[in-house]
Amino acid sequence: MGHGLSVTGDIVSSTKVRAGSGKKFTVSSNNTSTKEAAFNLWGNSSRPVVAELGDDAGWHFYSQRNTDNSITFAVNGQVSPSNYSNFDSRYVRDIRLGTRVVQTMKKGVMYEKAGHVITGLGIIGEVDGDDPAVFRPIQKYINGTWYNVAQV
């Protein structure tokens, strides 16, 4: 057998546990936790590599390599980042009405502009005449750019 270590009881180390040439994997404890915690490295045919941390009550998080070589990271609880900028950049930060567009409504013709709302009507003379309608696009602000909303 090669250079190895076989232990049938607990392992206690007052310093680092090293793997390879100087790469380290450190485990420490202040002996103040109310639960046992475990780091598990495992895998199977549908989840080839899973690195998981959990305690007596269940799993906290895991990172896994999938069969298509992609990676999944999952958290069993709330994520509290110290910097929200990469999250916030994906959300709608503001809403506004865009540039005014005037369209003459011809007698008997229906007008609809995708993503726009009517903000004004000018009724001149008879209601069924050629009257102006004012449209404005609804716009959303995401990551520094204004976008017109889509229409379903």
Residue 25: pLDDT band with limits 50, 70, 90? low
How does DSSP assign 95-108, residue by residue? EEE---EEEEE-TT
Q: Which of 108, 114, 105 is nearest to 134 (CA)?
A: 105
Residue 91 or 4, more confident: 91
What stretch of H or E contains 87?
A: helix 85-88
C-alpha pair distances (Å), 66 with each of 70, 82, 89: 5, 28, 28
Residue 46 or 111, more confident: 46
Residue 106 or 56, more confident: 56
Q: In terms of DSSP bridges, do strands 49-55 and 131-142 run parallel, antiparallel, or are they unpaired?
A: unpaired
pLDDT at residue 102 is higher than 70: yes
Residue 77: pLDDT band with limits 50, 70, 90? very high
Query: In this predicted structure, what is the pLDDT of residue 19?
Result: 62
Mean pLDDT, to the nearest integer, of 36-65? 93
- Taking the mean position of all CA atoms in its chain, how far away is CA 62? 17
Tokens matching residue 114: 């995708």
Report how far residue 67's alpha carbon sits from residue 135's, in angstroms, rounded to the nearest whole number.
51
Q: What percent of the chain has pLDDT over 70?
A: 88
- Taking the mean position of all CA atoms in its chain, how far away is CA 91? 10
At 25, phi and psi to the nearest 5? -130, 110
